[in-house]
Amino acid sequence: MVTIGTRVLAGDVGGTKTALSLCERHERGWVEVATTTFPSADHAGLEAPARAFLQTVGGPPIVAAAFGVAGPVKDNRCHTTNLPWLIEPTSLSAALGARRVAVINDFEATARGLLELGPEHVVVIQEGQVDPHGPIAVLGAGTGLGEATVVRTPAGVRVLPSEGGHTDFAPRDEVEDGLLRFLRRRHPDHVSYERVVSGMGLEAIHAYLVESGLETSHPSTLARMREEDAPAVIGELGARGLDPACTRAVAMFVSLYGAEAGNLALKTLPTGGLFVAGGIAPKQLDALRSGAFRESFLAKGRMRPVLETIRVSIVIEPRTGLHGARALAASLAE
């Protein structure tokens, strides 16, 4: 039984940034005491910044910690995909003073976090029909592309993480054929959906459109991209329609995002709903709601009637993965 005052640490570790949340057990449940976010690339590993965060906050030691990490997790350890870190429980336990530490895939954390959300945290773009006992699928683009499935069993909820974002990118028309050829020159070994449906994917689509002469970007846009976060600039200007290449890049990105969501739905048949999470979704909510995403989701030939029955929702709560890691850390404290 968890006593009042027990503390746990939750983390959402991404290739771009890492968020940490310190939570304490109160009479009314778990309450966040402090949180921090820092650029992941500024550190050589997770131990030092996590320890510094706990020391800065002060107070009783934590008893458990859980981290959702962007990368494949095996035997509770992860070599991060877009970051040169090894994350494993032994060194974290020693650095943080926690008896129990869990390392899980970031989209397992996101999938767990979905179960913590209320209706105000999602925007439904296709009503469909929801089976409360059916599986749930979730995918989300950010620095990379994550995918996972939630299955309800007699023993409780089970999350099936995956590396589905690394499956082969399949173009659907001549323009996307050109995008694939463009990306093959950059990545001759393998071109995955993550190469087009992610922050780096949005930047790659923009580069393809400009270098192929399909669209142009204003000089001021290119200057901003050199000085600022390029995917963020493309997303901002594209969403506002202020730059031709950015506008088309966002439109292609949303269409490809919908196509891969449809692929995931066909593979998992998520009668409990499909959720679009990740850091990009809330920033491109209007574009995702515009219809192009849903049309690409449904454009699966004879399977269209099947996909029309699935509820599709956009997650607008940016800390879903952190909520999932916190729920796991709380269970480890029991």
Mean pLDDT, the chain, rounded, equals 95
pLDDT above 80: residue 1: no
Return the structure tokens found at 206. Answer: 């923009």
- Specify the pLDDT at position 202: 98
- Specify the pLDDT at position 2: 81
51-103 pLDDT per residue, tens: 999 999 999 999 999 999 988 899 999 999 878 999 999 999 999 999 999 99
- Containing 102, the helix (H) or strand (E) segment is strand 100-105
Q: Does domain 7-106+320-333 have CATH number 3.30.420.40?
A: yes
Over range 131-157, report the average pLDDT.
92
Cα dihedral across residues 114, 264, 193, 164: positive or negative: positive
- Specify the pLDDT at position 81: 81
293 neighbors 141 (Cβ within 8 angstroms): no
- Specify the pLDDT at position 309: 98
Over range 119-138, report the average pLDDT.
96
- What's this model's pTM, rounded to 2 decimal places? 0.89
Short-list 246, 324, 319, CA closest to 284:
246
pLDDT above 90: residue 155: no
The number of beta carbons lying within 10 Å of the beta carbon of residue 245 is 23
2-24 pLDDT per residue, tens: 889 999 999 999 888 999 999 99
The number of beta carbons lying within 10 Å of the beta carbon of residue 171 is 17
Residue 299 three-state SS: coil
Cα dihedral across residues 81, 82, 84, 88: positive or negative: negative
Domain boundaries, the chain: 7-106+320-333, 118-316
Kindly report the backbone phi and psi dihedral angles of residue 212, in degrees, each rounded to the nearest multiple of 5, phi listed first: -85, -5
Over range 171-196, report the average pLDDT.
98
Over range 135-163, report the average pLDDT.
92
pLDDT above 80: residue 122: yes
C-alpha to C-alpha distance for 277 and 317, rounded to whole angstroms: 8
- Specify the pLDDT at position 282: 94
The CATH code of the domain at 118-316 is 3.40.367.20
- Specify the pLDDT at position 116: 87
Over range 229-239, report the average pLDDT.
97
312-329 pLDDT per residue, tens: 999 999 899 999 999 999
C-alpha to C-alpha distance for 33 and 90, rounded to whole angstroms: 25
C-alpha to C-alpha distance for 307 and 208, rounded to whole angstroms: 31
Q: What angle do CA 323, 328, 332 make, to 5 degrees?
A: 145
- Containing 163, the helix (H) or strand (E) segment is none
Residue 231 three-state SS: helix
- Specify the pLDDT at position 107: 86
Return the structure tokens found at 236. Answer: 């901002």
pLDDT above 80: residue 267: yes
Give the confidence band of 330 by pLDDT, cuts at 50, 70, 90: very high
136 neighbors 112 (Cβ within 8 angstroms): no
- Specify the pLDDT at position 167: 97
Short-list 199, 252, 209, CA closest to 230:
199
- Specify the pLDDT at position 110: 92
